[in-house]
Chain A
Amino acid sequence: MRTSMTRRAFLKGSLAAAGLTIGVSVTPFGHRLLNASEIDSFSPNVFFKITPDNKVAIFVGNSEMGQGVLTAFAMIIAEELEADWSRVRVKQAPAADAFKNPIIGGQVTVASASVRGFYEALRKAGAAGRAMLIKAAAETWKVPEDECKALMGTVKQEKSGRTLTYGQLCLKAAKLQVPENPPLKSENEFRYMGKPMPRVDVPEKVAGTAVYGLDVTVKDLHYAVIARPPAYGAKPLSYDEKGAEQIKGVQKVIPVPMGIAVCAKSIDAALKGRDALKVKWDKGVLPDMDNDYIEKSMSEDLNKPMVSVVNTGDAKKAISEAAKKIEATYFVPFVAHTTMEPMNCTAYVRDDGCDVWAPTQAQTGAQMLASKASGLPGEKVHVQTTFMGCGLGRRAKPDFVVEAVTISKAVGKPVKVMWTREEDIKYDYFRAAGSHRIEAGLDAQGQLIGWSHKLVSPSIAKEINPGQLKDGIDWFCMWGLADRPESYGWNNRIQYEIPNLSIEFLMSSLPIPCGVWRSVQNGPNAFVIECFIDELAHAAGKDPLEFRLQNLKNNMRARRVLEVVAEKAGWGKAIPKGEGRGIAQHACFGSYVAQVAEISVNKKDGTIKVHRVVAAVDCGPVVNPDPLVAQIEGGIINSLSTALKEEVKFANGGVKSANFDDYNVMRMSEVPEIQVHIVKSNEKIGGIGEVGVPPAAPAVANAFFNATGVRIRRLPLSPKTVTEAIKKV
């Protein structure tokens, strides 16, 4: 069971009732564990609480988007606490300091960082609870602690066979000091972690009772939709306010920074009111912009002076002296998130406070922006996370929260802002397009000795996190190619051992807003790197797997996933005529993934059929293996969708794509058989939510080359692109 709650209910449920509470304070060095007496009763900084009714409530601040974070966090705490799973309840916590991710610095569910950011803190919190309960039992029985053992929600004295439940012990345990470094379980003692546990959010989602952002109901709820500019930067010239207000149910027309809002008693009335506005707009900042304009502009930018991001050795010299020199240009287009639940938010601004119910991945940002928009101090803004119909990174941008708060403040009513699908696509913060030019040199043995990489892309950080923007470098745009030294643990870098490496970047000035899209630029950048590596293997006359291994001599984790996937997929074995097989690997967010794709091509109509994708994953310790496999499957399907179908269309300075009829995403009959192999590993825990994405698209493009001998250097590999490429040969 998982329940949402108000701040008041949260405080009542988690703190006011007596019991063993393990809270936390966030310090620059991570989480410090606290007991109930140390917790500020106004800030719900609580990881879990055991109450005399023998129940364990676990509070999760991260957003559940289907990746299984509620279950994973509960498993980690329950494991170390040695709790009885049937007595565990998981609750979505509101925005609060305790839930700030120590490796990111905010309460935000991004960068596959939930489990990898909280793993140690949650284990420690659970283990501290277990140690306190054991101590409480030992004191009750007046026996040494080492005679007492925690067992499935009880403490047992082996000698006498006496037991006390956690419920019976919790009040006494609550008075004890929280140990700073409680002993953690060893892997062979695990009862939950590493075993496939059913996800706690599944039953209510199947029943249809799960509450998503759009499902939030509040008394006297009003609905708002916004008329938005058709072109970037366009301003309204005129609109028919009276016409809109004449629609039955329409309450008010409100000009807002993002357009003109219509607030009504029902969604239907709000939508009809918006139609009646008949807004006339000016042409915006770049009325000529369409897809050709974008591609031309970004490709011309490749010739301009750039900012150096990485410069090891002397790439220029190495390449000029190389036995073989290869160069290529690639283009990866803008793609949209199209989360199944369009953007929305419900807010109620009053004089004394502001409530926000949001399907958001970014609670800290939502709270800050709601505070700014409402004019109320942060502590008066309560943000409750709802379930969300996909995140994919789109919900890391809390723009919809600002809208709901702004309109609620203007009308003095609780307001739900709803985006239609058309708005959701047209006003998305897209996965940034990238224009790439690469040159590389091989020595006589086919060893990679130099790589020079130029990338042009619009900024992502500008809209998402300006902290990632430094000295002309947008680090989000670089992920997959390069990362900042302080993020080397995340490993969002090119993995190949290249003695002379130059990576340069230039920010495109196109006015297209970009955001983070599952795996951020690891996806598009890995497409380019892994296709180009395939080109180099071909130039060196080597097998693509052999060439990769040859240039990853000391990278044991990358080698291992490649070797496992090759073995499982039967790499090197004959495949039917007309079919192709491709391989790719990528490391990001602390994990390593390699994939093999098998495809066939219909040369007449240009369609590619993907038959099978095999994946090998090394993410360090595994918490819940079944949702882990599901995340890799989903990542692969998202990636195949971008490989074969997705590209945002632009026209007249704005977005032309509007809905699922002209923005195509993967459908069921197009999905291949997917096999996921988890490579057992004792390395530091890595991310899972996004890491399945990067290798799939290049594996397909490499399989296409294998099948046809034709290299396509542009996504998507749509029937049109494929037919044209085959014709050219």
Chain B
Amino acid sequence: MISLHVNGKVFQVDVSNDTPLLWVLRDNLNLKGTKYSCGIGECGSCTVHVDGKAVRSCTISVGEVQRKKITTIEGLPENHPVKKAWVKEQVVQCGYCQPGVIMQVTALLSQRPALDADQIITKMDDVICRCGTYPRIKRGIKTAIQMTRKEVKKS
């Protein structure tokens, strides 16, 4: 039995230690928002957070992430500035890579000291979008930063 801490809940799953986290999230925990695309950590579609850092769930085994905090796209609040910015800027086309893109952006946004939009954009080359939404991902990142600033001001 493997014990996994995902989106604030603890799950016990009967899989071998070396099973990639991706398959367990998708097929054992039914969290299908995390996507399979390359299986070698080259495209970023399977990106989740492990202890707040963006990690490729296709190349990390469940054995390696026991007792660590895992967050998937489903665990990101609906009103998260990145999700809101993605709707506002109509970033997605087919949308398949976007959960991974969003998880990558949110991890970069929460880095301290804070990165500006251009710094985040330079760290997005390991995430592939085949529809060519890159110009809108850039817009989405800028809008998400503005939204975050507004929220900080409000609070």
Q: How far is the CB of A412 from chain B (nearest CB, A)?
A: 21
Does any Cβ of A come within 8 Å of B106's Cβ?
Answer: no
Complex formed: what's the CA distance from A501 to B19 in Å?
Answer: 61
Closest to A68 in B: B93
Q: Are B90 and A390 in contact (CB under 8 A)?
A: no
Q: How far is the CA of A636 from the CA of B131 in the complex (A)?
A: 10
Instruction: Scan residues 645-691 of chain A and give those whose CB is less than 8 A from a CB of chain B.
Output: 659-661, 665-669, 671, 673-674
Near A by CB (< 8 A), chain B positions 78-115 give 78, 83, 86-87, 90-99, 102
- A268-B23, A421-B38 given; A674·B135 CB < 8 A: yes
The answer to whether B125 and A671 touch across the interface, beta carbons within 8 angstroms, is: no
Pair A208/B74 contact, Cβ less than 8 Å = yes
Instruction: Say yes or no: A206-B74 contact (C-beta < 8 A), given A217-B30, A340-B130, A668-B134.
Output: no
Name the A residues within 8 Å of B40 (CB-CB): 421, 659-661
Establish whether residues B93 and A630, one from each chain, have CB atoms under 8 Å apart when the complex forms.
yes
Q: What A residues does B98 contact at CB under 8 A?
A: 205-206
Would you call B27 and A206 a contact (CB within 8 A)? no
Complex CA distance for A296 and B134, rounded to whole angstroms: 37
List A contacts of B39 (CB < 8 A). Answer: 420-421, 659
Which residues of B have CB within 8 Å of A661? 40, 42
Contact between B102 and A206, CB atoms less than 8 A apart:
yes
Enumerate chain B residues within 8 angstroms of A388, measured Cβ to Cβ.
Answer: 94, 96
A186 within 8 A of B: no
Contact call B15/A268, Cβ cutoff below 8 A: yes
Q: Which of B15, B19, B130, B134 has the most CB of A within 10 A?
A: B130
CB <8 Å contact, B127 and A267:
no
Q: Which residues of B contact A212 (CB under 8 A)?
A: 35, 96
Please measure, in the bound complex, the distance between the C-alpha atom of A627 and the C-alpha atom of B95, giving whole angstroms.
13
Across the interface, do B36 and A634 meet the contact criterion of CB distance under 8 Å?
no
Measured between alpha carbons, how far is A610 from B78 in the docked complex, in Å? 36
Check A206–B87 contact: CB distance below 8 A: yes
Task: Tell me which of A207, A342, A627, A634 contacts B37 (CB under 8 A).
Answer: A342
Q: Find residues 283-325 in chain A having any chain B CB closer than 8 Å to their own CB.
A: none
Contact of B132 among A215, A391, A638, A673 (CB under 8 A): A638
Q: When chains A and B are docked, how far (Å) is the Cα of A431 from the Cα of B33?
A: 30
Q: CB distance A665 to B138 under 8 Å?
A: no
Is A178 in the interface zone, CB < 8 Å from B? no
1/0 contact trace for A334-376 toward B, CB 8 Å? 0000111110000000000000000000000000000000000
Chain B CB within 8 A of A168 CB: no
Which residue on chain B has the smallest CB distance to residue A639? B132
Once the chains bind, are A202 and B128 in contact (CB under 8 Å)? Answer: no
Contact A667 B73 (CB under 8 A): no
Is there contact, CB below 8 Å, between B99 and A339? no
List, in ascending order, chain B residues with CB within 8 A of A202's CB: 86-87, 90, 92, 95
A210 cross-chain contacts in B, Cβ below 8 A: 95
Shortest CB distance A424–B (Å): 9
B117 to chain A, nearest CB (A): 12
CB neighbours of A217 from chain B (8 A): 30, 32
Residues in A with CB closer than 8 Å to B42 are: 659-661
Docked Cα-Cα span, A340 to B129, in Å, equals 7
- Map CB proximity to A onto B24-57 as digits: 1 under 8 Å, 0 otherwise: 0011001011111111101101000000000000
Instruction: Assess whether B122 is in contact with A636, with CB atoms less than 8 Å apart.
Output: no
> Is B137 part of the contact surface with A, judged by Cβ < 8 Å?
yes
Q: Are A340 and B134 CB-contacts (below 8 A) given A266-B27, A390-B96, A668-B125?
A: no
Q: Which residues of A contact B135 (CB under 8 A)?
A: 633, 671, 673-674
Task: Tell me which of B27, B38, B138 contacts A668 (CB under 8 A).
Answer: B138
A interface residues, Cβ below 8 angstroms from B? 65-67, 198-199, 201-203, 205-212, 214-215, 217, 248, 266-268, 338-342, 387-392, 418, 420-421, 626-627, 630, 633-638, 659-661, 665-669, 671, 673-674
**Interface, chain B (partner A; CB < 8 A):** 15-16, 19-20, 23, 26-27, 30, 32-40, 42-43, 45, 72-74, 78, 83, 86-87, 90-99, 102, 121-122, 124-138
A-B residue pairs in contact (CB < 8 Å), sample of 7:
A342-B36, A392-B130, A630-B90, A630-B93, A633-B133, A661-B40, A668-B134
Sample of 7 more A-B contacts, CB < 8 Å, known A206-B102, A266-B23: A206-B86, A206-B91, A207-B78, A214-B35, A215-B26, A667-B128, A668-B125
